[in-house]
Amino acid sequence: MTSNKLTELVKRICFTIITSTTTAGSGHTTSSLSAVELTSVLFFGGFFKQDISNFNNVLNDKFILSKGHAAPLLYSLYEAAGVLSHKEMLTLRKFNSPLQGHPTPQLPFVDVATGSLGQGLSVGLGMALGIRLKIKELGLTPKKEPTVWVLLGDSEMAEGQVWEAMEIASYYNVNNLVGIVDINRLGQSGETDLAWDVETYKKRIGTFGWHVLEIKNGHNIEEIQ
């Protein structure tokens, strides 16, 4: 998808996030908006490989929204993909709606319930290793291993479990796991310790043996591409 088409898609996703959370009267709107461009390029820019007609396909990439409070973003991405309707989006956070404040596996595109911050990367690590085993068990020979993509918030980077997952992933050379840290500077009750100190994030993550790429402006579609 071209940059121009992605720009228009981002506008649509932002509109869906705002209308759904406004209708609900609650929801983490800003946390969702902060990662729209990052995830739009991931989902629709040729990186994320998923058969939306068969979410159980073992060769599908996986996406974990570790910052689970940004659920309106996840739902809006799948609305843009045609999996959800706009009418369904307007049931966000209502009783009996599958679109709750945090994603749950009752939705076919959600593999793990998230909301307790700091756990997503560990789950992603287990899934990445599990995919390797499953492919071997089935005797499949894909050109490329399915990738597990994990979107983390900068506030949850204070959780030790995140860094333990990084250490173990590096030890086992798990190269089909990608962590994306959305550095928006703000937590629930104030500014994060590192704010926009991206250099420190890079150094710390790199120390754990990860290959680190920096995107200076997470709202710049061409830079993300």
The half-sphere exposure of 175 on its side-chain side, counting CA atoms within 13 A, is: 4
Give residue for tokens 């990367």: 121
Distances from the Cα of 147 to the Cα of 69, 92, 131, 144, angstroms: 23, 29, 9, 8
Q: What average pLDDT does the structure give for the chain?
A: 94
**What are the residue boundaries of the structural domains of the chain, listed by start?**
3-224
Q: In terms of pTM, does the model score above 0.85? A: yes
The partner residues of 149 in beta bridges, in order of sequence, read: 63, 178
**In this predicted structure, what is the pLDDT of residue 18?**
98
Question: What tens digit of pLDDT does each residue of 96-124 get?
Answer: 999 999 999 999 999 999 988 999 999 99
Looking at residue 40, what DSSP letter applies?
H
Q: Express as a percent the part of the chain with pLDDT over 90.
A: 86
- Architecture label for domain 3-224: 3-Layer(aba) Sandwich (3.40)
Question: What tens digit of pLDDT does each residue of 2-22 get?
Answer: 999 999 999 999 999 999 999
Question: What tens digit of pLDDT does each residue of 119-136 get?
Answer: 999 999 999 999 999 999
Question: What tens digit of pLDDT does each residue of 167-197 get?
Answer: 999 999 999 999 999 998 766 666 767 666 7
Indicate the SS3 state at residue 53.
Answer: coil
Residue 211, both tokens: 């290959």
**In this predicted structure, what is the pLDDT of residue 135?**
94
